[in-house]
């Protein structure tokens, strides 16, 4: 078992992808299923006693000490077939201590990473999840009707990423105002090639969780 703080509960291939910080170690955990047909996304496990898991929930979850890394996700841990337990909730500012003040977000300053990078790094250096505190987040809908966020980080750097947090997406679709100061959970997906594209595969970054401050 592991006691975790939920920091992402985002859309993934018809299911959900949950990402958490281990309360004891401070390390990331990405619980994944054994079902490769839905690309290891989580479905029924995202509910506890009929209530959907929310960001900042403290939970006790049954996981293995290992998981499929898919060539880039060292944080993945296989779920055991046992119930999850709700423990408590934390406040937004309680998770600020987990934000990393790094010069780059997930290996570089762009919205994608070439899978070949991970063949050149030891697995201990892989990173596919990062918590970022930004005081200047701008939310907008692009021409393809995808909600995105343009935000600043580090010394005068910016990044523009797609949002997969279903709770914040629902608010944006209702034209609700989201505060510009946020804690963002940045997640990097497994290698993917865009449909009808001749481009190589990339591991794309996305905003999987948004916590207002």
> Going residue by residue through the chain (213 aa), what tens digit of pLDDT does each one get?
899 999 998 866 556 688 999 999 999 999 988 764 434 445 556 678 878 889 999 999 999 999 999 999 999 999 898 889 999 999 999 999 999 877 899 999 999 999 999 999 999 999 999 999 999 999 999 999 999 999 999 888 999 999 999 999 999 999 999 999 999 999 999 999 888 878 899 999 999 999 999
Give strand ranges (E) for 42-115: 47-48, 51-52, 57-61, 76-78, 85-89, 112-113
Q: What is the structure's pLDDT at 39?
A: 42
Q: What is the structure's pLDDT at 36?
A: 47
Q: What is the structure's pLDDT at 83?
A: 87
Q: Are 99 and 183 in contact (CB under 8 A)?
A: yes
Biggest CA pair distance of the chain: 47
Q: What is the structure's pLDDT at 14?
A: 56
Q: What is the structure's pLDDT at 37?
A: 41
Q: Tokens 């006790």 appear where?
A: 60
Q: Are 63 and 79 in contact (CB under 8 A)?
A: yes
Q: What is the structure's pLDDT at 178?
A: 96
Tokens of 168: 């914040």
Q: What is the structure's pLDDT at 40?
A: 43
pTM: 0.92
d(CA 158, CA 25): 30
Q: What is the structure's pLDDT at 189?
A: 93
d(CA 192, CA 200): 8
Q: What is the structure's pLDDT at 154?
A: 85
Q: What is the structure's pLDDT at 15?
A: 60
52 bridge partner residues: 47
Give strand ranges (E) for 164-202: 182-188
């Amino acid at each position: 078992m592991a006691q975790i703080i939920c920091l992402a509960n985002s859309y993934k291939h018809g299911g959900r992808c949950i990402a958490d910080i281990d309360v004891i170690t401070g390390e990331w955990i990405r619980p994944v299923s054994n079902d490769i047909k839905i690309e290891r996304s989580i479905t029924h496990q995202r509910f506890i006693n009929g209530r959907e898991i929310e960001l900042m929930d403290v939970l006790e979850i049954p996981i293995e000490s290992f998981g499929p890394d898919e060539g880039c996700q060292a944080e993945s841990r296989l779920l055991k077939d046992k119930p999850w337990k709700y423990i408590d909730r934390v406040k937004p500012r309680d998770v600020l201590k987990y934000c990393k003040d790094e010069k780059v977000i997930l290996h570089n300053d762009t919205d994608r990473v070439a899978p070949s990078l991970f063949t050149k790094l030891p697995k201990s250096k892989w990173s596919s999840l990062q918590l970022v505190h930004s005081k200047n987040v701008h939310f907008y809908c692009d021409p393809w009707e995808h909600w995105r966020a343009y935000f600043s980080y580090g010394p005068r750097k910016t990044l523009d990423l797609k949002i997969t947090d279903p709770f914040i997406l629902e608010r944006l679709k209702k034209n609700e105002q989201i505060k510009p100061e946020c804690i963002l959970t940045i997640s990097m997906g497994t290698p993917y090639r865009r449909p009808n594209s001749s481009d190589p595969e990339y591991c794309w970054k996305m905003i999987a969780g948004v916590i207002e401050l």
